[in-house]
Structure 1
Amino acid sequence: MIQRRNFLVGSAAAGLCALAAPVFAADKTSPDKLRIALLPDENASTIIQNAQPLKRYLEEVLKKPVEIIVTTDYSSMIEAMRFGRIEVGYFGPFSYVLAKSKAPDIEPFGVGVEKGKPNYQSILIATADGPVKELADIKGKPFAFGDRASTSSHLAPRALLARQGLIGDADYKVVHLGQHDAVARAVAAGQVPAGALSEQIYRVLVETKKIDPTRIRQLALSEPIPNYPLTVQGFLKPELKDAIKRAFLDLKDPTILKLFRVEAIATATDKDYDVLRDMAKVLQLDVAKL
């Protein structure tokens, strides 16, 4: 699903250099090259390997060179969008809300649809033979999240726990492991007794045999979360923005859609992500200061 999945064309290191380098484009509203960033919520080399069909498609449709970038983490992608170092960003839902608070002119335009729905869920898991059998057992124990700006691997499950009276760093120890797959592996191995990640990424890890489901117990699923949004810089020329939006919304190639874990891309608006802002309020988070 178009979720979580927060690429580059040669190596992650090359992408980081590209983001750090100054931009000398004569006209930022219609750059000679389009830089498109995907969220680093899984192994970057895997994303890079799978990204080439998207790059070729966009270059053919948009008639411009395309650079696919994977940033080191959610925060660096937000900053890249904020300072105009990328033209298109594929954010996680909450990282989009954070980015929008820092760069109000960015525009969400697309959201993935999977099994007919433009949303997904977070899954809370525990080690099968570990001490956590139900949510109440998390009290007093470590709980693993992914990136701090992740929706399904931090914000949504942390809000769910808060609604159950379990407050991070007061009722349980908060542990951040960065990536979704790292959370699943740590819980399966018993390195942490429980954790949370995208339910879809969890299912993919099971299907590809990267984790053994018999070593994991499902504790709960979060409320539905709007899928990952595709966003574009508001300062681009209208005709270029329209072309970018059409290129993604018209995507039909299943190989490329699989990269986003979706079956189609539908239109999205900023209002669709108000549910994330509500979750932040439950956790008493001021997104403008994160």
Structure 2
Amino acid sequence: MRSYLLNRYVVLAIFISMSLLFSGCQTAKTEKTFRLGIIPSENGQETLKQFSPLVAYLEESMKVKVEPYVATDYNAVVEAMRAKHIDAAMFGPFSYIMAVERAGAEVCVVRVGESGAPTYNSYFVTYKDSGIKTLEDLKGKTLAYTDPGSTSGYLVPAKVLLDHGLSTPDFASVIYSNGHDASLLAVKNKQVDAAAIDEMTYNRAIKKGIITKDEVPTFYTCPPIPQSPFAVAKDIDPELKQKFVEAMIKVHELRPDVLKPLSASKYVTATDDNFQLIRDTAKALKLDLSKIK
């Protein structure tokens, strides 16, 4: 009898253990994950560091696991959305319209700068004693862009140069550095004569003591650029989208410290019309959005 009861208890214990294990597996399978892409405006490690506070805030606010994905270049984030590997992404204005064209991305919120401005600027920079004072002085020099998909590191500066009668054949060489910070260092170390970078990276580098205004001065400020947006995939879970948008438009009230590394004061809702200027600029440069790599 004791043996019979013991066997029953063993069977019952095994049944309960298997039930708990199965239940745990089911919970793991159904737990929602929010996959967030981020363009690499600076090196991947630094970019992830800047966005880590936001990722932690989103996990807390949305009650889901947030997986950040910092790509090797701007195009890779666009392709990740096209391949349905991410649910949303922080794009630059130009990479956003590429994502609309190729992945059906839908803008939802846009950054407002630390000064409250809806726009930001791109700078042309050079090194001290380069002799470069104007855009015309760039002829025959070496130039660094950031990435073919970068708004402030390529698109707008290229349009400015075109308006001044300058294009790629006018330079000794043109390179893509794959990061605004990399472009700054290339200029500082005199590997290139000039570069086009965004104002946020320039100001951060000065604050960190990486460069000084004397070492790497600006010599031209490009026209204002619409601030960078977050966009979601066209087939995103509507509940996830709602949670994400609500979290982003409340972040300045709930966790303003999260915004400081992102050079933002808040995020507000946006529409695709905000970026018509970028489309017009790409058209003026005769760029095929479906083929940019």
Letter in 2 for 1:183: S
Q: How many Å apart are 1:47 and its aligned residue?
A: 2.6
Cα distance in 1 between the residues matched to 2:52 and 2:239: 25
Change in Cα spacing, 1:287 to 1:174, as seen in structure 2 (3 Å) is: same
Q: How many Å apart are 1:158 and its aligned residue?
A: 0.8
Aligned Cα RMSD in Å? 1.8
Larger helix percent: 2
Q: Is the 1:180–1:198 Cα contact (8 Å) retained in structure 2?
A: yes
Do structure 1's residue 260 and structure 2's residue 262 form an aligned pair?
yes
Q: Is the 1:147–1:154 Cα contact (8 Å) retained in structure 2?
A: yes
Question: What SS does the corresponding residue of 1:213 show, helix, strand or coil?
Answer: coil
What count of residue pairs does the alignment treat as equivalent? 261
Q: Give the equivalent residue in structure 2 for 1:199.
A: 199
Q: Which one has the largest radius of gyration?
A: 2
Letter in 2 for 1:182: A
Letter in 2 for 1:158: A
Change in Cα spacing, 1:133 to 1:250, as seen in structure 2 (3 Å) is: same
TM-score, scaled relative to structure 2:
0.84
Do structure 1's residue 135 and structure 2's residue 135 form an aligned pair?
yes
Q: Which digits, 9 at most, give the CA deviation of each residue in 1:206-232, with x for residues without a partner?
A: 111111221123221111111111011
The 5 Å alignment of 1:70-219 reads: 70-104=70-104, 106-114=105-113, 115-171=115-171, 173-219=173-219
Cα distance in 2 between the residues matched to 1:240 and 1:122: 33
Structure 2: 5+ residue stretches without partners: 1-25
Cα distance in 1 between the residues matched to 2:56 and 2:207: 28
TM-score, scaled relative to structure 1:
0.85
Q: Is the 2:62–2:243 Cα contact (8 Å) retained in structure 1?
A: yes
Cα distance in 2 between the residues matched to 1:251 and 1:169: 46
Q: Which digits, 9 at most, give the CA deviation of each residue in 1:135-189, with x for residues without a partner?
A: 1111121111111111101111111000000012345532211110111111122
Question: What SS does the corresponding residue of 2:235 show, helix, strand or coil?
Answer: coil
Structure 1 segments, 4+ long, off by >6 Å, are: none
Q: Percent identity?
A: 35
Letter in 1 for 2:264: V
Cα distance in 2 between the residues matched to 1:228 and 1:127: 28
Letter in 2 for 1:260: L
Structure 1: 5+ residue stretches without partners: 1-25
